[in-house]
Amino acid sequence: MKKAIIFILSVLLFCTAVPMNQAQAAAEPFTDIKSNNRFYEPIWSLTAKGVLVSEDENSFKVAPNKLVTRADAADMITAMLGLELESDHPGFRDVTKDNVRYDSIAALAERGIISGYSNGMVKPNEVLTRAQMAKMISLSFNYKTNANAVTPFKDVPKGHWATPYIDALVRNGVTTGTTATTFSPNDKLTRQQMALFLYRAHQKKSVSQYNDEEIFNLIREVQNKADMVVGYYKNVSAKRPPFSKVRAELLPYAETAIVDGFMKEYYNNSCTECDWIMYNEVYDTGLPYEIMERSNQKIKVKVRYPHGMDEAYTAVWTVVNTNGKWKIKDWEEYSIKEAPFKLTVKQAEHYLKSVIEDPWNWENKREYVKSIKHEGTNKGYYKFLIKTNLDEYVTEINPTDASIKE
């Protein structure tokens, strides 16, 4: 998961005040889609994971009816499935290596999920059709296709190039069409439709088949849904409702002891519309992490958070599956004094590379490391010479807490 997405999501969750209709019984964290909308749960799920990012930094709008481009779809699919670039893909004429959309587009291209046109372009800003979406999702989830497939849709005849992919979505419970007899293959795809298709497809996947990023997505979804509920109610007005009115909406995301302990204390004591956060999200910070337990019933992970706005520390998170619902069971935090990182040179090199290649640091141009060389140790700090496509850095990093000096 890209740290830019996590940062933007965190800012929106904790700094946005959302007007509340007092007649509503449940939190409504989005301003442009209500909880009774059939697309709400997929949008909430993907937003909490960090897959779907708000279109407006000033209010929590998810723009459900906005059309999806090829690049947008690539971003969402790679984030949902935790797909990383595994080769030195050459890119395309209109998406070169310094393009900010290169990573997701190249990650799909190297897997054969998307391909360029005969002129060497990939047309990242071209709006996706429902038929094109069907192909991308079928290939992304490795669905078996049948060249002789027949669908129940009159507007997708046998022999249509997308029929095998649409049929695969039908067989896997991802789509039922726009009606019982139509799929509308040439209709432009909206964000809420893309969210729904990805949500349904991913629900069919067993947790035991998840890669590490999908594990982080799962934990992050539980964390952020609880955060969104708390953030909604505590930022509604100067006089927030009592915790007893909020408690029931938190129980689906955390066990009773967590809700009645830490979450209650945080809710009652945190300030309104300020930058207090309930906890940091689980994500790949670029530092060493460990998936300590992974099953369809329990997940336990250890992640390290670098020195930055807060002191560096290590956290251990445990979530459990209770009657089909994933809930926070426990988390523990360890200071640097209790658990110093003790980074090796190779681990420090990996972390520095991840920081430089973090999209949050880019200004309309992708920056990537071309070479990185360890040049010894200076007063306990590892020293590196780093050359990127845009600049050259002499950087020092503390192996104890990952603090950086340039």
Phi, psi of 88, rounded to the nearest 5 degrees: -90, 70
Q: Which pLDDT value is given to residue 363? A: 78
DSSP 3-state assignment of 277?
coil
In this structure, how many other beta carbons lie within 10 angstroms of the beta carbon of residue 84? 13
Contacts of 224 (CB under 8 A, 6+ apart): 9, 13, 47, 48, 49, 50, 281
Q: Which pLDDT value is given to residue 236? A: 65
For residues 302 and 282, the answer to whether their CB atoms sit within 8 Å is no
User: 337 vs 39, 141, 332, 333, 343, CA distance in Å?
Assistant: 46, 43, 15, 12, 14
* Domain range summary for the chain, segments of one domain joined by +: 3-209, 345-405
For residues 398 and 406, the answer to whether their CB atoms sit within 8 Å is no
For residues 153 and 183, the answer to whether their CB atoms sit within 8 Å is yes
Inter-axis angle of helices 191-203 and 70-81, nearest 10: 30
Contacts of 242 (CB under 8 A, 6+ apart): none
- Per the DSSP assignment, residues forming a β-bridge with 300 are 293, 318
Nearest to 267 by CA among 302, 318, 232, 301: 232
Contacts of 209 (CB under 8 A, 6+ apart): none
205 token code pair: 């996947």
In this structure, how many other beta carbons lie within 10 angstroms of the beta carbon of residue 4? 16
DSSP 3-state assignment of 96?
coil
pTM: 0.91
Could you report the average pLDDT of every consecutive run of 10 residues in the chain (406 residues)? 41 40 63 93 96 74 95 97 94 95 96 94 97 97 96 94 97 96 97 97 94 98 94 76 94 97 92 77 95 96 88 97 96 96 98 89 87 97 97 96 92
Let me know how long the chain is: 406
151 by Cβ neighbours in 10 Å (0-12 / 13-18 / 19+) ranks as buried
For residues 389 and 382, the answer to whether their CB atoms sit within 8 Å is no
197 by Cβ neighbours in 10 Å (0-12 / 13-18 / 19+) ranks as buried
Contacts of 28 (CB under 8 A, 6+ apart): 18, 20, 21, 34, 35, 232
In 141-209, which residue ranges form alpha helices assigned H by DSSP? Answer: 163-171, 191-203
Contacts of 55 (CB under 8 A, 6+ apart): 61, 62, 63, 66
